[in-house]
């Protein structure tokens, strides 16, 4: 009888340890669910990295073009800063009329 109880106790302890290890494998701070979430975040960050690298390359090309091409620099100054030549006129148009302005 004692031997039978000891055997059941060993089985119960084994199943409890197995259940505890399985629970930790899935739900712990380093478990499967956290791993899956981090894998999704990693894919999103990789996609963002590709976009940022493309933007960096585009901006590097723009910088080289502005350094080497005076016409490109002149166009940028006209477009961004609103500079005009002495023989040009600048016309500023309102974007939209408000009710009070009518």
pLDDT 10s digit of each residue in the chain, 102 long?
A: 667 888 899 999 999 999 999 999 988 888 999 999 999 999 999 999 999 999 999 999 999 999 999 899 888 888 888 888 888 887 888 887 666 655
Cβ(25)–Cβ(32) under 8 Å? yes
Rounded to 10 deg, the angle between the 2-27 and 32-68 helix axes is: 20
CB atoms within 10 A of CB 78: 13
Cβ(53)–Cβ(59) under 8 Å? no
Domain range summary for the chain, segments of one domain joined by +: 45-83
CA gap 92, 83 in Å, rounded: 13
């Amino acid at each position: 009888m004692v031997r039978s109880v000891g055997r059941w106790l060993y089985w119960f302890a084994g199943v409890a340890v197995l259940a505890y290890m399985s629970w930790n494998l899935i739900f712990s701070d380093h478990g499967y669910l956290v791993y899956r979430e981090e894998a999704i975040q990693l894919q999103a960050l990789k996609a963002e990295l590709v976009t940022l690298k493309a933007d960096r390359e585009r901006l590097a090309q723009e910088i080289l073009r502005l350094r080497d091409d005076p016409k490109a620099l002149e166009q940028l100054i006209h477009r961004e800063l609103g500079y005009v030549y002495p023989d040009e006129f600048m016309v500023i148009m309102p974007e939209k009329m408000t009710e009070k302005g009518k």
